A and B are shown apart, each in its own frame.
Chain A
Amino acid sequence: MKKSKDTSNFAMIVREFKQDKGATFFLFLLSALILFIYIYAAFLDTKKVMQVDILNGYSSPGKNGHLLGTDQGGRDVLKYLVLGARNSLNIGVTITLIVEMIGIAFGLVAGYYGGLVDNIMMRFLDFMMLLPMLMLVIVIVSIIPNYNMLDFILVMSAFLWVGTARLIRSKALSEAHKEYVYAAITSGSRPWKIMLFDMLPNISSLIIVDLILSLTSNIGIEVGLSFLGFGLPDSVPSLGVMIGLAQDPDVMTGSPWVWIPAAVLILVLCVGISYVGNVVRRAFDAQQRLG
């Protein structure tokens, strides 16, 4: 072990990235990609991009000024891709933030109180884990009348917080028996203050890692549901819908430019984000650190 006692979390992460060339590459690739997506999308008008122009349908890449060609409705694939990726990222981030908040609150309360409270809350968690999540989301989405993006985010969050809650609870359970918590209790702090200002900072590294890693899986689930046709409403561009077009064999083989870019983009985003997440996790774990 080198001198690592008084280095901040941030310095630790920076050093870990310096040690791992692949991670640095992914970090730059991801940042560039995300910057490009957001900046380009800011200049695009969703309504204009979504406008159907049948006459121009399925034109191959490079023709008529469409860099990546057009889909069945004559929409520019590149523009659709950028808007879809931005939506997927936005929704992924929103769901992840909601899910983390619920999970942290649930986990901290269960871990702090322990005993009977923890037991009851864990029974509930166990039950939530059993639910066939994918099916239930599809069923709920299909019976909500006039369903919109907010509904989708709420339905997803209602099921996805369970994993985070479990993780936070197991860490909080061990934190709750440390001396600083006893000291805070003895000095008369209120429970919510102990949880929020004493325990939370001590599990922050775990939360950061979980944030990054669950972002990948949340994006994956959103894209998957959109692929099946039960994700974002039809009027919203989505990467999943684009890949879903390839369920028609003619599109799959006849005009691969419609769906392959979306498939590759989602692969790069998911692998990149989890790679970066893994490096951050390694940085926080003294036993696995490279540098």
Chain B
Amino acid sequence: MWKTILRRVLLMIPELIALSILIFLLAKLMPGDPFTGMVTPETSPQAVEALRIKAGVYDPWYVQYWHWVVRMFHGDLGMSYQFKTSVGSLILSRMGNTIWLSLLTLILSYSLSIPLGLLAGRYENTKLDKGIMIYTFVAYAIPSFVFYMLGVWFFGYKLKLFPTSGSVSVDATGTFGYLLSRLDHMILPACLQAVLSVTAVVQYLRSEVIDNKNQDYVKTARAKGVPEKTIFTRHIFRNSLLPIAAFLGYSITGLLGGSIFIEQIFNYPGMGLLFMDSILNRDYSVITALVLLYGTLTLIGSLLSDIILSLVDPRVRIG
């Protein structure tokens, strides 16, 4: 058990180093240098040049890389030229919004896909199963942002059921009103995202249930007279659900990647929107930090999935 986790964590280290080198080189290709945002028109060119030499702009790339990594471990990610604050605090202030939206999406997505997967597996090859399979197929095939746009247009603008942009309305009063307003702003994007993200879990759960149906323990339960309903809700459900837990890590990764589209469309001030804003304003220090953060989170997500899987399924452990 611990061996597996340790091995997995050790494997992560070279990946992390490769990722950071790649992003560092990409950052070098971007125009501008660490002083963007600090230099004013009054600064003399000599002073800038002195600053450059002092900061080691002319050092070989691996020396610069090393300094960059050391700075990063001290929490110094540079300055945002657009917002005139440190990149670290800027990202932290946006991170909460993205995390809450992702969390709500995750809850909605699982509470939709688990019943659907169980039903499809239990009533295999019936009309219900076929209907669910068509739904998951369409949800997988269509480009997500088109669906979001149609969703905003229909539910937000035509039916006027939900707010269409921002994360909280200006006139929200009191703690409770504030929370309610936040939730109100998150419901539509979270629902739209959840409806599209069911495919993997439903299909996996369905085939798990179908596999389990003919297992000996189910036959035993049936033979001793356990009602069919209880067999599905207790025996099979528990056994099929465990592997689904392993999807969690990958789900987090998927949601983060999708946050660019959903936040752009809903003008929701999270990290995805920050990324798009920074790209448009050429705020390169923020871009570098965000790409590195997303890459690291993806790494952690897949690590999490592997650990959960090895906890749940002893077969994937290494001796």
Instruction: Check B291 against A139 for contact (C-beta < 8 Å).
Output: yes
> Residue B141 contacts which of A138, A142, A216 (CB distance < 8 angstroms)?
A216
A267 to B260, CA, bound (A): 20
> Residue B298 contacts which of A130, A275, A278 (CB distance < 8 angstroms)?
A130
Residues of chain A in range 130-182 having any CB-CB distance to chain B below 8 Å: 130-136, 138-140, 142-143
B257 within 8 A of A: yes
Instruction: Check A271 against B142 for contact (C-beta < 8 Å).
Output: yes
> Residue B153 contacts which of A133, A143, A252, A267 (CB distance < 8 angstroms)?
A252
Shortest CB–CB separation between residue B139 and chain A, in angstroms? 10
A56 to B18, CA, bound (A): 53
- A135 with B149, Cβ < 8 A, contacts A130-B298, A270-B141 known: no
B264 within 8 A of A: yes
Instruction: Check A220 against B264 for contact (C-beta < 8 Å).
Output: no
Q: Mark A24-47, 1 if CB is under 8 A from B, else 0.
A: 000000000000000000000000
A256 to B150, CA, bound (A): 10
A227 to B149, CA, bound (A): 11
> Residue B295 contacts which of A130, A220, A224, A249 (CB distance < 8 angstroms)?
A130
B167 within 8 A of A: no
Shortest CB–CB separation between residue A215 and chain B, in angstroms? 11
Sort chain A's interface into a size bin.
35 or more
Instruction: Check B260 against A135 for contact (C-beta < 8 Å).
Output: yes
A117 within 8 A of B: no
A285 within 8 A of B: no
Q: Interface centre among B31, B158, B256, B291, by most A CB within 10 Å? A: B291
Instruction: Check B260 against A246 for contact (C-beta < 8 Å).
Output: no
Instruction: Check B295 against A132 for contact (C-beta < 8 Å).
Output: yes
- A278 with B142, Cβ < 8 A, contacts A130-B302, A247-B265, A256-B153 known: no
Instruction: Check A228 against B276 for contact (C-beta < 8 Å).
Output: yes
A243 within 8 A of B: yes
Q: Which residues of B contact A216 (CB under 8 A)?
A: 141
Q: Which residues of A contact B302 (CB under 8 A)?
A: 130
- A139 with B143, Cβ < 8 A, contacts A127-B18, A228-B260 known: no
- A130 with B265, Cβ < 8 A, contacts A263-B146, A266-B146 known: no
Residue of A nearest to B157 (CB): A253
B26 within 8 A of A: yes
A169 to B143, CA, bound (A): 27
Residues of chain B in range 134-149 having any CB-CB distance to chain A below 8 Å: 137-138, 140-146, 149
B29 within 8 A of A: yes
Instruction: Check A131 against B295 for contact (C-beta < 8 Å).
Output: yes
Q: Which 4 residue pairs across A and B have the least CB separation, nearest first?
A: A220-B143, A274-B141, A132-B294, A253-B157
Can you list 18 A-B pairs, Cβ within 8 angstroms, ordered by A?
A127-B19, A132-B298, A134-B257, A135-B290, A135-B291, A143-B30, A220-B143, A246-B153, A247-B265, A252-B152, A252-B157, A260-B150, A263-B146, A266-B143, A267-B146, A270-B142, A271-B142, A274-B140
Q: With contacts A260-B153, A263-B150, A270-B142 known, what are 18 further pairs, Cβ within 8 A?
A: A127-B15, A127-B18, A130-B302, A134-B257, A136-B26, A139-B291, A143-B30, A219-B143, A224-B143, A228-B260, A228-B276, A246-B153, A252-B152, A252-B153, A266-B142, A271-B141, A274-B137, A274-B141
- Residues of B that sit less than 8 Å from A by CB: 15, 18-19, 22, 26, 29-31, 137-138, 140-146, 149-150, 152-153, 157-158, 164, 256-257, 260-261, 264-265, 275-276, 279, 282, 287, 290-291, 294-295, 298-299, 302
